[in-house]
Amino acid sequence: MTTTGSNKPVVDFCADYETYYDAEYSLSKITTLEYVRSPRFELHMMSWKCPALGVHKPRRAIGDRMIQEVFDMLKGASQYVDFRLVGANSGTFDAFIADYHNGFRFMHHFDVSLMARWVLGNTLKDCKLETIATRLDVESSQELRKEAFDALGMADDGLGKKISIALSAVKGLHIH
């Protein structure tokens, strides 16, 4: 555990967000700022864990109320620790959502996809989570695969389903 200039311990908060998008409203059509600030923006699910808070297995928060409860808990705990966001794909994007929509600012943030690119360099054709999982042979690890499916609340049939199939079940979901 490290400390910041505030002398509070720094702890990791691991998260992955699922947001609403459609053919016209997506990051391929508009900028990140336009996307997050749009009245159409919906953060409908967040998978998260924070071992320092006793949450060692991924949990899901679905819908505005549950997601805000997580951030309210972090606000309370932040008087004792500084939180570092570890994002699954875009730490900057996730940190901006937390600040803009949930009123919580992480002290630091980074994302594992960019970290993988720095470490694995040109051995990756892209930084997609599926590519990284394949390169690190995540799918052959029963334990890691089970954790991925558990985080999504889905059963792994043991037949070698790709993690991306589980992710596609929630990607782009529009919850009202």
Question: Which pLDDT score, from 0 to 100, does residue 45 have?
Answer: 86
- End-to-end CA, the chain: 39
Which residues, including other chains, have CB under 8 Å from residue 104's CB and lie 6 or more apart? 71, 74, 75, 78, 98
Give the position of tokens 């998008």. 21
- Measured CA to CA in angstroms, residue 12 lies from 55, 57, 130, 163 at distances of 11, 13, 23, 23
Q: What tens digit of pLDDT does each residue of 110-154 get?
A: 765 555 555 566 666 766 656 666 666 655 666 666 665 665 555
Alpha helices in 16-162 (DSSP H): 32-37, 63-77, 91-102, 112-120, 129-135, 142-151
pTM: 0.65
Q: What tens digit of pLDDT does each residue of 49-62 get?
A: 888 888 888 888 98
Element housing 2 (H / E):
strand 2-3
Question: Which pLDDT score, from 0 to 100, does residue 21 have?
Answer: 85
Phi and psi at 5, nearest 5°, equal -60, -20
